[in-house]
């Protein structure tokens, strides 16, 4: 069976890209990364891709007068490489409804919160300011509205009493690195279906434990 040909779009260091590279390298993984595209020429993630023998391409958004022209260049690179599916991994550009609709149900993103809570930027700062006990990450299909779309995988991450933004971000990022390859595997395996914007996943179990934070000794 042919593996799903995936592109990963990045803007920076590419730590979630590395998690996807490692996942796709596993025996029997049903997807392969055929192309990594960055909108910033000096993105460290490009080096990660090149070290893994993956083709890279730069589409610098500063070279285009508007988002439509930028996305036309993106689409040309994607279709030229025979890409079937896109993962956004720290891609710091808002995509137009035209691009999102063109790739509908073939475009996913990972966000560092338990969506629909804490959409947008500075999620960890806001989590700490609100004093919530759990945060996490979400892999979801992309829709035109920012940080919105059918949810595929989530991980709950406890907030510790001594957390600062950096410590909390590191713990959430570790969860992201587990969730993103899992989501891609399930999609490429054909386990994921969408009806009325709700995801159904064939052949999975859900945890039956209750997580409580904080824990005290009685």
Q: Is the pLDDT of residue 131 over 90?
A: yes
Which SS3 state, helix, strand or coil, does residue 82 take?
coil
User: 187 in a domain, yes or no?
Assistant: yes
User: 13 in a domain, yes or no?
Assistant: yes
| Phi, psi for 171 (deg, rounded to 5) | -70, -40
- What is the reported pTM? 0.96
For residue 90, what are the contacts with CB-CB under 8 A and spacing of at least 6? 10, 11, 12, 13, 14, 15, 16, 17, 45
Question: Please, which residues bridge with residue 192 across strands?
Answer: 201
CATH number at residue 188: 3.40.50.170
User: 122 in a domain, yes or no?
Assistant: yes
What six digits make up the tokens of 14?
Answer: 């590419």
Q: Give the per-residue pLDDT at 218.
A: 67
User: 15 in a domain, yes or no?
Assistant: yes
Count of domains observed in the chain: 1
User: 217 in a domain, yes or no?
Assistant: no
User: 208 in a domain, yes or no?
Assistant: no
Q: Which residue segment(s) compose the domain that 21 sits in?
A: 4-201
| pLDDT single digits (tens) 69-107 | 999 999 999 999 999 999 999 999 999 999 999 999 999
Give the integer Cα–Cα distance in Å for 199 and 205. 14
User: 197 in a domain, yes or no?
Assistant: yes
The catalytic residue positions are: 111
User: 207 in a domain, yes or no?
Assistant: no
| pLDDT single digits (tens) 20-69 | 999 999 999 999 999 999 999 999 999 999 999 999 999 999 999 999 99
């Amino acid at each position: 069976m042919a593996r799903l040909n995936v592109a990963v779009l990045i803007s920076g260091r590419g730590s979630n890209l590395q998690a996807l590279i490692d996942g796709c390298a596993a025996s029997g993984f049903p997807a392969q990364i055929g192309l990594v595209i960055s909108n910033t020429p000096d993105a460290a993630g490009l080096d990660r891709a090149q070290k893994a023998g993956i083709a890279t391409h730069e589409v610098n958004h500063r070279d285009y007068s508007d988002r439509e022209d930028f996305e036309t260049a993106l689409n040309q690179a994607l279709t030229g490489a025979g890409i079937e599916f896109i993962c956004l991994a720290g891609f710091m550009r808002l995509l137009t409804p035209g691009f999102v609709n063109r790739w509908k149900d073939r475009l996913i993103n990972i966000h560092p919160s338990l969506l629909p809570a804490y959409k947008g930027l500075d999620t960890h700062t806001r989590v700490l300011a609100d004093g919530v006990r759990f945060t996490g990450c979400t892999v979801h299909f992309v829709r035109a509205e920012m940080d919105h779309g059918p949810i595929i995988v989530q991980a709950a991450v406890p907030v510790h009493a001594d957390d600062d933004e950096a410590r909390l971000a590191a713990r959430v990022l570790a969860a992201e690195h587990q969730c993103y390859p899992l989501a891609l595997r399930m999609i490429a395996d054909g386990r994921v279906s969408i009806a009325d914007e709700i995801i159904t996943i064939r052949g999975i179990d859900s945890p039956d434990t209750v997580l409580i934070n904080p824990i005290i000794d009685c």
